[in-house]
Amino acid sequence: MENGRKALVTGGAGFLGSHLVRALLADGWQVAAMDSLLTGNTDNIDEFAGNPSFEFIKHDVTEPYDGPWNLIANLACPASPPRYQADPVHTWETSVLGALNAARLARKNGATLFHASTSEVYGDPEIHPQTESYWGHVNCNGVRSCYDEGKRAAETLLADFRRQYGLDVRMVRFFNTYGPAMDPEDGRVVTNMIIAALRGRDIPVYGDGTQTRSFQYASDAIEAVMRLIRKPREEIDAFCAAKKLSVPVFNIGNPGEFTINELADLVLREIPGTGSKTVNMPLPGDDPKRRRPDISLAGELLGWKPVVPLSEGLPRTIEYFKAKCL
Amino acid sequence: MENGRKALVTGGAGFLGSHLVRALLADGWQVAAMDSLLTGNTDNIDEFAGNPSFEFIKHDVTEPYDGPWNLIANLACPASPPRYQADPVHTWETSVLGALNAARLARKNGATLFHASTSEVYGDPEIHPQTESYWGHVNCNGVRSCYDEGKRAAETLLADFRRQYGLDVRMVRFFNTYGPAMDPEDGRVVTNMIIAALRGRDIPVYGDGTQTRSFQYASDAIEAVMRLIRKPREEIDAFCAAKKLSVPVFNIGNPGEFTINELADLVLREIPGTGSKTVNMPLPGDDPKRRRPDISLAGELLGWKPVVPLSEGLPRTIEYFKAKCL
């Protein structure tokens, strides 16, 4: 595999997608970034222009595609509620048809398929922290379902491609992740708060702000993905057999739990003197009240754990947004 | 609409599909039955051959289709675990792509879309009986997920087609239904037991037989569907608004609860003198331990309730299988 390591990253102009492109290039892969640019942005991949190992393909993964890749990393999907709720049918199609098109090509190529799932498959969980074996608590026809159920159905399909066709499928469930390359307008809590504070506007806090989130810095997430991609398949299969896992899917997140109010306080401390203050807003439909990953499985298989605390990652992210948006 | 009432029934050569074809023909519709014949059987629709209001279209709903229908009734999907687990990827595709293809055509035609969902969207439920507002308890990457999650993702898509495009979507969640036209080899509990008893073989009881099921006779299910199809859209929309339902989806089943052991006793009583006896077998993966519908919503909207008890429906079904299989 040292010769001809060709990777496709769908959603490659997106937040985590562009970080993965960078990591794969650094690791010696030839990398194609595919993106519809509906939520991705070429700003995130401009730095790779002129790199002979890199190419950009503008394409929507809801339509079939073809190419010689032996690694397909499927990260294409709008991931923030305002973005994925802007066109719910297309969000569902991106998740569901995107997984199907990736799986069919990976099967044809005998390629490895890395798939980015999400903590949203747990919905509004009834156990804390969430382990991968938890089935979740998800509304299948609410306003978040296009994303949550779309992502669940993608996992279902890929688990069956592995069982039925022996496809080398590797999945992670990303919990809240933040960092440079985030879309300033994605409407997620970290970007919302930073952008509001930088612009001296009030910081929106949905509900009473006591709901908790875990915040993972992007480099921690990408390190986990690279370790999972590098792992020989036999080791993954043996690990799944030993742990009685029906499919290799791993929580990737930072277990450090913060309330939304604590996050707001931290943002206000890091961006002083703007006159911003928090203001409470109504909680949107089906918003999960609490979510925190159990990452022991990923730790055991990959020797991985997050190393960037919020107190380090948040200032770095603020620097990024200052440069981009001010 | 009295002129040109053209209906498509996908899965029209299947168990419930063929009953719906008969009911629609009797109601004055022109009816096309579409079926891949992977689990459907032309035996179920032979009686309509020569009827100028009927046509059969051999087609797999995972591929797009077109036609002038103003009602699309989407019932295509293998529904018994042995059938749907024979090719899990295709089962997922049938549910997911089948819903997408039906929805796209219904939108193009401005047609009504009736969709057959299932009690399996509740998985292994933690509340009894199940109301439509219950989110369910479902494994998204187990051996039943191709059906359960495929059906959930179909509901998700159709709910969004209604919200986003105003599509006239009407869904039911069928609980266990039985009756003439069932596939004798579908591996479901009622057919398994009847066929075993008719052939003098042991009756398989999975687990200890104390898990319960509700059994709905086919004519009761079809009566509910016809009432839902005949309902003016404005009444359905008003009902949903009054009840704060995000989408019109209704449990359709018989709340009478029987243990698997009670069902076996009833079958043995109705088919005496064959020397059959029950024999316990291991419970398959993710088998739900209990399921029972709350049908008050359907009762209120449709003035419907099941009227055929198991003590009537079972002998009629046994007569059907005697004629077909002996």
Looking at per-residue pLDDT, the higher value among A189 and A106 belongs to A106
**A69/chain B closest Cα distance in angstroms:** 22
Helix (H) or strand (E) holding B42: none
pLDDT digits (tens, 9 = 90+) for B81-108: 889 999 999 999 999 999 999 999 999 9
A123/B160 Cβ within 8 A:
no
Task: Note whether B86 contacts A: Cβ–Cβ < 8 A.
Answer: no
What is the arithmetic mean of pLDDT over A176-189?
92
Determine the average pLDDT of the residues in A25-37: 98
Q: CA B182, CA B16: separation in Å to the nearest integer? A: 8
Confidence at residue B188, expressed as pLDDT on a 0 to 100 scale: 86
List of chain B residues whose C-beta atoms are within 8 Å of the C-beta of residue A100: 93, 97
The model's pLDDT over B167-215, given as tens digits with 9 standing for 90+, comes to: 999 999 999 999 999 999 888 889 999 999 999 999 989 899 998 888 9
B131 touches chain A (CB under 8 A): no
Residue B178, classed as helix, strand or coil, is strand
Read off the pLDDT of residues B114-133 as tens digits, 9 standing for 90 and up. 999 999 999 999 999 999 99
pLDDT surpassing 70 at residue A167: yes
Q: Going by C-beta distance under 8 Å and a sequence separation of 6 or more, which residues neighbour residue A183?
A: A14, A15, A39, A41, A80, A83, A191
Q: Tell me the CA distances in angstroms from B203 to A78, B81, B84, B282, one per residue in order.
A: 51, 18, 22, 13
Structure confidence at residue B187 (pLDDT): 85
| Interface predicted TM-score (ipTM) | 0.94
Do the Cβ atoms of A149 and B145 come within 8 Å?
Answer: no
Q: Check if A113 contacts B (Cβ < 8 Å).
A: no
Active site residue A147: yes
* A155 pLDDT higher than 80: yes
pTM for the structure as a whole: 0.95
As given in the structure block, the two tokens for residue A234 are 């036999």
Which residues are bridge partners to A117 per DSSP? Answer: A173
Element (H, E) at B63: none
Mean pLDDT of chain A: 95
Share of chain A above pLDDT 90, in %: 87
Enter the CATH code of domain B6-181+216-255+290-308.
Answer: 3.40.50.720
| pLDDT of A263 | 94
B-chain residues within 8 Å CB-CB of A134?
A: none
pLDDT at residue B295 greater than cutoff 80: yes
Q: Please indicate whether residue A25 or residue A274 has the higher confidence score (pLDDT).
A: A25
Which residue has better confidence, A82 or A121? Answer: A121
Quick one: what percent of chain B has pLDDT higher than 70? 98
Q: Is the pLDDT at A39 greater than 90, yes or no?
A: yes
Beta strands, E only, A194-297: 203-206, 212-214, 216-217, 249-252, 257-259, 278-281
Task: Report CA-CA distances (Å) from B217 to A52, B198, B321.
Answer: 66, 20, 15
- CB-based contact, B221 to chain A, within 8 Å: no
Helices (H), ranges, chain B: 15-26, 81-84, 88-109, 145-165, 189-198, 218-230, 233-243, 260-270, 296-302, 310-325
Render pLDDT for B132-154 as a digit per residue (tens, 0 to 9): 999 999 999 999 999 999 999 99
Do residues A293 and A213 lie in contact, with contact meaning Cβ atoms separated by under 8 Å? no
Residue B2 confidence class, pLDDT cut points 50, 70, 90: very low
Q: What is the pLDDT of residues B227-277, one digit of tens each?
A: 999 999 999 999 999 999 999 999 999 999 899 999 999 999 999 988 899
* Inter-CA distances, B283 with A147, A303, B94, B121, Å: 33, 37, 26, 20
Q: Tell me which DSSP letter residue B293 carries.
A: B
Here the tokens at position B204 are 């398989």
Residue A27 is predicted with a pLDDT of 98
The mean per-residue pLDDT over the stretch A102-129 comes to 96
Quote the pLDDT of residue B286: 64
Q: Which of B255, B88, B133 is nearest to A167 (CA)?
A: B88
CA distance A106 to chain B (A): 14
CATH of domain A6-178+216-254+292-307: 3.40.50.720
Please choose, from the candidates A151, A195, A180, A135, the residue with its C-alpha nearest in 3D space to the C-alpha of residue A308. Answer: A180
Is some CB atom of chain A closer than 8 A to the CB atom of B149? yes
Q: What is the mean pLDDT of residues B287-296?
A: 83
Q: Alpha carbon A116 to chain centroid distance?
A: 6
Q: Which of B113, B155, B156, B158 to mutate to test the interface with A (most CBs of A within 10 A)?
A: B156
Distance from CA of A167 to the nearest CA of B (A): 12
Is the minimum CB–CB distance between A223 and chain B shorter than 8 Å? no
What is the predicted pLDDT for the residue at A1?
Answer: 41
Q: How far, in Å, CA of A138 to CA of A160, rounded?
A: 21
User: Tell me, what's the pLDDT at B3?
Assistant: 52
Query: How far apart are the two ends of chain A, measured CA to CA in Å?
Result: 44
Share of chain A above pLDDT 70, in %: 98
Chain A CB contacts of B101 below 8 Å: none
Convert the pLDDT of each residue in A287-321 to its tens digit.
666 789 999 999 999 999 999 999 999 999 999 99
> What pLDDT shows up at residue A214?
87
Query: Average pLDDT, stretch B21-38?
Result: 98
Q: Whole-angstrom Cα distance, residue B12 to residue B9?
A: 5
The Cα A299–Cα B87 span in angstroms is 34
Averaged pLDDT for residues A153-159:
98
